[in-house]
Amino acid sequence: MADSPPVLYIVGGGLSGISAAEVLSRGEGRPRKVVLLEARPRLGGRTSSYRESHDGQVHDTGQHLFMDAYVATRSLLKVLGTESRLTFLDPLSLYMMDRKEKLSFLELPLHNGQLGLLSGILMFPGLSFLSRLSMLKIARALPERESSVDHMDARTFLRNNGQTAEAIDKFWELLIVSATNLPSDQVSASLLVSVLRESLFSAGGPKTLGYNTVPLSELIGDPAMKLLTRRGVDIRCRTPVSRFLVHQNRLTGMQIGKDTRMLGPDDHVIVTVPPWSFEELFPSTEMNNPMIQNIVRLSKPSPILSVHLWFQEPVAVPMMTGFSEHDMHWVFNRDYMMGRALPAILPDKKLADFSYSGPLGDFYPGRMLSCVVSGARESLEEDDDELIEKARKTVLRLSPGSPDKKLVFARVIRERFATPIFSPGQGMWRPLAHSFLDNLWIAGDMQDTGLPATMEGAVRAGFQAAFEVEKRLERRLREDRKYQPGRGEPS
C-alpha cells in the first residue's frame, strides 16, 4: 500500500453511515483514517428528534417501530449501549379499528411458535372466519426467492394467493403501508415477502414489535457521536458533499463545501445518501452510466405525516392502535411509551360500554398522543388545521368517553422525503454494495438488501458496504506483503 494510510470517507451520517463507520473503526492501531461527512447539524438522519417549544421536551419527528427480527439494528444498538432502551411486546398485541369503528384486539403468543400465530389469527375478531382462514394460506404461498414476485405489486400477490378483499383491506393493507411506506398496489411484492418471512412467518415463530423508550437522538445519534469520536473517527457535521470528481474508473476527489478534497490511491468512499441526491453528486459526463440511471428510477420519495397532539387532561387510549380504511394509520400514546407517568383514569361508563375485545386495562392515560400517516402523498398538502382536526377525531373515535377533552396544542410534521418508492421491478434497479467506480461503495436505502427502506435495511446496507471495503483493504495488504523486498519475491 501507499506510505500514507488509506482514508475511508463515509458520505451521510444517518443509520447507514453510522453503521459503516462503526465497522470501519473497530480495533485499535489499524492503519487507516475514517472520516464521516454529514450535511445536517447532528448524526441520525431520519431517526431524528427535536425540542418542542410547547412543553420543552425532546420528541421524535415521527414514531418508529422496531421488530425483534431487526438483528443488525439491535447489534448496532448493543455496541452503542442503548439496546436496553427498547421495549418489546410479549405477547405481540395491539388494537385495530376498522372504518365502522369496530375496535378489535389482536394477540399473538410468542412462545408457541407458529402455533401461536395460528391461534392468534383464528381468534382475531376483526375479520370474518373465512378471511381468517385465508390468512393462514399465506405462509405456504411465500416463494423461495423473493425476486420471483418482484414484477408484481403486493396487492396482486395477496389476491393471487387466496386473500379475501376483507383481509387485504382490514389487515394486510395496514401492515404493508406501515412496513414499506407505500400502499399495497404500489409496492413490490418481493418486499412484502421479505417482511413476512422475517416477521410473522419467521422459522422460529412470529417476531414481535418494539419501540424506543427514549428519543431517537438519545438512542442512536448522540451515542453514535460519542462512540465514534472515542474511536478516533473524524466526524464533520454541517459538511455537505456537493460533487464527486471522476477519472476513468475511479473517484479521484470530492467537492466538500468550498474545498476540493483529492483522494489518494488507496482511499475509498461509501455513499449513503438517498437516491434523489445520488445523481446530483456526479458530473454530467457520468449521467448515462447504467447504475446512475437505475438509481434515478428510485428517486421519487414517499412521504410520512405525523400529527402530535397535546390534550389538557389525559385521554384513555391504548399504547398503539392501527386503523384500517381511515385518514390516520396509527395512534400512539407517547406519554405511556416514553414512561411519563400520569394519574390513572377511572373507567368511564361510556368507555366501559364501548365495543372492544381486549382488557380495559390496556387503555392508558396520555396527554401527548401521536397520529401517523404512512405513504401520505394525498394528505401532504392539506392545511394544518384540517389535519389536526382529522387527528383529533381519530383519537375521539378511539376514546369515546372523552368528547370534552380540550386540545391545547398540536404540531404537524411533514417528512416529504421520507423513503424511496420501491415499486414492482425495484430489484432490477437497486445496486449491490460495489458501484461502477473502483473505490466507490453504495449503502443506504439504495442498496439492494431485499428489504424496504427501514431502519434494519439501512443498518444492513452500511454493514455490508463496510465489510466489502474491509475485504478490499485486506486483499491489497496481502498483495503488498507478498511483494515486499527481502522475502524472496519480486521487488
442: domain CATH number is: 3.50.50.60
Kindly give the pairing relationship between strand 33-37 and strand 58-60: unpaired
Whether residues 305 and 415 share a domain: the answer is yes
Tell me the C-alpha distance between 41 and 59, whole Å: 17
The verdict on whether residue 246 carries a ligand-binding annotation is: no
Structural domain contains residue 74: no
Q: What is the pLDDT of residue 349?
A: 38
Structural domain contains residue 16: yes
Q: Which of 411, 404, 401 is nearest to 369 (CA)?
A: 411
Whether residues 440 and 333 share a domain: the answer is no
The verdict on whether residue 16 carries a ligand-binding annotation is: yes
Whether residues 427 and 294 share a domain: the answer is yes
DSSP letter at 188 equals B
Domain containing residue 293: 7-49+216-299+422-482
Whether residues 321 and 465 share a domain: the answer is no
Whether residues 314 and 414 share a domain: the answer is yes
How large is the C-alpha radius of gyration of the chain?
Answer: 24
Q: Which of 206, 224, 251 is the last residue of a domain?
A: 206
Q: What is the pLDDT of residue 485?
A: 59
Spans of the chain, pLDDT less than 50: 1, 347-360, 487-491
Cross-strand partners of 315: 366
Whether residues 293 and 315 share a domain: the answer is no
Whether residues 265 and 370 share a domain: the answer is no
Whether residues 412 and 355 share a domain: the answer is yes
Whether residues 368 and 322 share a domain: the answer is yes
Strand ranges across the sheet with 440-442:
234-236, 33-37, 7-11, 268-271, 440-442
Q: What is the pLDDT of residue 351?
A: 40
Whether residues 170 and 319 share a domain: the answer is no
Kindly give the pairing relationship between strand 268-271 and strand 440-442: parallel
Whether residues 435 and 404 share a domain: the answer is no
Amino acid found at 408? V
Whether residues 365 and 469 share a domain: the answer is no
Q: Give per-residue pLDDT as tens, 98-123.
A: 999 899 999 988 777 778 888 889 99
In the block, residue with C-alpha cell 447489534: 75
Written as nine digits, the cell of 419 is 423513503
- Give the other-Cβ count within 10 Å of 213's Cβ: 15
The verdict on whether residue 39 carries a ligand-binding annotation is: yes
Tell me the C-alpha distance between 481 and 384, whole Å: 64
Cα first-last separation, the chain:
14
Tell me the C-alpha distance between 186 and 102, whole Å: 27
What phi and psi values does residue 7 have, to the nearest 5 degrees?
Answer: -105, 125
Q: Which of 181, 206, 231 is the last residue of a domain?
A: 206
Structural domain contains residue 66: no
Structural domain contains residue 384: yes
Domains: count for the chain: 3
Q: Which of 150, 185, 206 is the last residue of a domain?
A: 206
Structural domain contains residue 161: yes
Q: What is the pLDDT of residue 417?
A: 95
Written as nine digits, the cell of 83 is 439496546
Structural domain contains residue 333: yes
In order, the DSSP letters of 388-453 are: HHHHHHHHHHH-TT-TTPPEEEEEEEEEEEEEE---TTHHHHS--SB-SSTTEEE-GGGS--SS-S
Structural domain contains residue 190: yes
Q: What is the pLDDT of residue 361?
A: 53
What CA–CA distances, in Å, run from 463 to 14, 47, 76, 229, 420? 13, 18, 10, 19, 20
Structural domain contains residue 309: yes
Task: Check which CATH number belongs to the domain holding 128 and give it.
Answer: 1.10.405
